[in-house]
Amino acid sequence: MVKIAPSILSADFSKLGEEILAVEKVGADYIHVDVMDGHFVPNITIGPLIVESIRPITKLPLDVHLMIENPDQYIEAFAKAGADYITVHVEACRHLHRTIQIIKSFGVKAGVVLNPATPVESIQHIIGEVDMVLLMTVNPGFGGQKFIPEVLPKIKKVKELAESKGITIEIEVDGGVNPETAKQCIEAGATVLVAGSAIYNQEDYHKAISLIRG
Ligand code: DX5
Ligand code: ZN
């Protein structure tokens, strides 16, 4: 069954703890944490301090998506704050292989993220080093954007690339996921779906998650 990772970007930050517990109670698999620095993307959000403060609230793995320049400089802080997965953008890493090793050196699962315009070929030589590939289906920076369907063939491509290397990885999709687009992603081979507005902007989180899971 596909895993669901609610993005707290669309949660009510004045009661963040409750918002996390609410999705955990109704079957969320990961908590997706969107870290933005105002440089790599035009928005500023969460830092290690918030990750540290939500860590004791939930038993779910924290899936920390770094949309920042110079990720190497901050990996240790997010690892110590309690991240279970740290994902970094190909487009933000000058020495991607090194960055992945830094993440793993802290005992954290490593993932690599591709923007919609970045080809799957960019990770063919490092896919064997990661636990997760995250495909952006919007341009990163904001919740509530429209799904870019041209990314769908990339999901299949990542799946085939992993199979050709004989490895099992999570294939995560992030941006504009709703019950309809979720179905297309699952068919293409996605194993984890991030959803922000399609969960947190709904009245009934349980119903929202079941509709996305399909
Ligand atoms: C976008 C973030 C996403 C965002 C998804 O830059 O990486 O995780 O929260 O939000 P929705 O599901 O509303 O597109
Ligand atoms: Zn994200």
| CATH code, domain with 191 | 3.20.20.70
pLDDT band at 34 (very low <50, low <70, confident <90, very high): very high
Query: Which DSSP symbol is given to 18?
Result: H
Rounded to an integer, what distance in angstroms lies between the CA atom of residue 4 and that of residue 199? 10
ipTM computed for the complex: 0.99
Say if ligand 1 is within 6 A of residue 111 CB.
no
Q: Tell me whether residue 174 is one of the annotated catalytic residues.
A: yes
Ligand whose nearest atom lies closest to the CA of 138: 1
CB-based contact 31:192 (threshold 8 Å): no
**pLDDT score recorded for residue 30:** 99
| Residue 93, Cβ density class (10 Å: 0-12 exposed, 13-18 middle, ≥19 buried) | buried
pLDDT tens profile 111-149: 999 999 999 999 999 999 999 999 999 999 999 999 999
Number of domains in the chain: 1
- 189 marked as binding residue: no
Ligand whose nearest atom lies closest to the CA of 87: 2
> Range of 142's domain?
3-213
**pLDDT score recorded for residue 64:** 99
Rounded to an integer, what distance in angstroms lies between the CA atom of residue 167 and that of residue 129? 10
Say if ligand 1 is within 6 A of residue 65 CB.
yes
pTM of the model: 0.98
Say if ligand 1 is within 6 A of residue 48 CB.
no
Q: Between the CA atoms of 35, 39, 44 and 48, what dihedral angle is there, to the nearest 10 degrees? A: 40
Average pLDDT, the chain: 98
Q: Tell me whether residue 37 is one of the annotated catalytic residues.
A: no
